[in-house]
Amino acid sequence: MTSLYNLAQASISTDSVTKPLSYYEIYDREITEENRYPDAILEIGVHKGESTKILAARFPAARIVALDHRLADIDFSGYPNITYLQCDQTDSTALDAICNKHFAAGIDLVIDDASHIGQFSSITFHTVFPHLKSGALYIVEDWGTGYWPSWTDGGRYRLARSGRVGGRIRKSIPSHDLGMVGFVKSLIDFTAVDDITDRRAASKGILSSLLVFLSGIPFLRRVLERAPRLKSLCLAVTDGPTRKADAIDKQAAPELPRLASVKYYRGVCVARKA
């Protein structure tokens, strides 16, 4: 079957904002990586419908819903598998209703090619993500706008230095996080939900926190290793409050999206749902 790349190569326009051919190469590789071909596709940001038609031609059996905040005069008559609708990507209620109506069985592929504004794309992601099937792809295009000083929420890149401050190790490594760059970087967190919700990450009492701190001192750690009973007592002190807090923390914590992986390419971020 003809690839997305070949279809795009044959029909790509000279429009200044059309997708680069390199994007289609990435999609060919990522979409077919596990031999899972999409039956349900949501494209957010249509412009002149060029990529929508390419997707429809490549996956004729797939249901494709294409959204834009302003509808254009696009002829989709030759593509019966396309539904073209008006919707603002920040309208969570409308987005959720569209997903419920058109993708009752879930979504296989989402492509966000809309505003390229970080906060807007974040709203879209958190609204649409619950509708994705396991293994589905969520693709974010043109995230490099976060490095552009001329862009709405972008800014010039500056190399931030980390390391020790006053003899102490910094807990955070400063990094450029403006606009879309900040949004796509935040997706990394959702590949680590098990660590985020691990009982060791739960808040502890003052005594247990002190013991954890002291155990980081090499001399005291060696003492604990040579005194099994003392070590067991310390573990009981640190573990007890954590176990009690587990149920409370899990009830209070919001349900986080779970991603199996996040890949970054030049201009394209590809997240796969766990």
- Pair of tokens at residue 33: 């990586």
Measured in whole angstroms, the distance separating CA 225 from the mean position of its chain's CA atoms is: 42
Helix (H) or strand (E) holding 132: strand 132-141
pLDDT at 230 over 80: no
pLDDT at 208 over 50: yes
Q: Tell me the C-alpha to C-alpha distance, in Å, between residue 228 and each of 12, 208, 222, 241.
A: 70, 18, 11, 21
| Residues with Cβ within 8 Å of residue 206, at least 6 apart in sequence | none
When pLDDT is cut at 50, 70 and 90, the band that residue 89 belongs to is very high
* DSSP labels, 249-268: HHHHSPPPP-EEEEEEETTE
Domain ranges, ordered by start, for the chain: 4-149+179-195+258-273, 199-252
pLDDT at 199: 65
**268 vs 1 pLDDT, higher one:** 268
CB atoms within 10 A of CB 166: 4
pLDDT at 252: 43
For the question of whether the overall pTM of this predicted structure is more than 0.85, the answer is: no
Burial of 81 from C-beta contacts in 10 A (0-12 / 13-18 / 19+): middle
pLDDT at 248: 42
pLDDT at 244 over 90: no
Q: How far apart are CA 195 and CA 258, in angstroms?
A: 12
Q: What is the mean pLDDT of residues 132-145?
A: 97
Q: How far apart are CA 99 and CA 110, in angstroms?
A: 11
**224 vs 171 pLDDT, higher one:** 171
Q: Tell me the C-alpha to C-alpha distance, in Å, between residue 269 and each of 103, 108, 242, 263.
A: 23, 16, 36, 6
Q: How far apart are CA 14 and CA 229, in angstroms?
A: 74
Q: Tell me the C-alpha to C-alpha distance, in Å, between residue 177 and each of 24, 98, 188, 243.
A: 26, 31, 13, 35
Q: How far apart are CA 207 and CA 230, in angstroms?
A: 15
Q: What is the mean pLDDT of residues 190-209?
A: 73
**227 vs 120 pLDDT, higher one:** 120
Report the candidate in 135, 146, 145 with the shortest Cα–Cα distance to residue 110.
135
Q: How far apart are CA 94 and CA 68, in angstroms?
A: 12
Report the candidate in 2, 274, 1 with the shortest Cα–Cα distance to residue 138.
274
Q: What angle do CA 133, 138, 144 make, to 5 degrees?
A: 170
Give the right CATH number for 4-149+179-195+258-273 from 3.40.50.150, 3.30.1330.10, 2.60.40.10, 3.50.30.30: 3.40.50.150
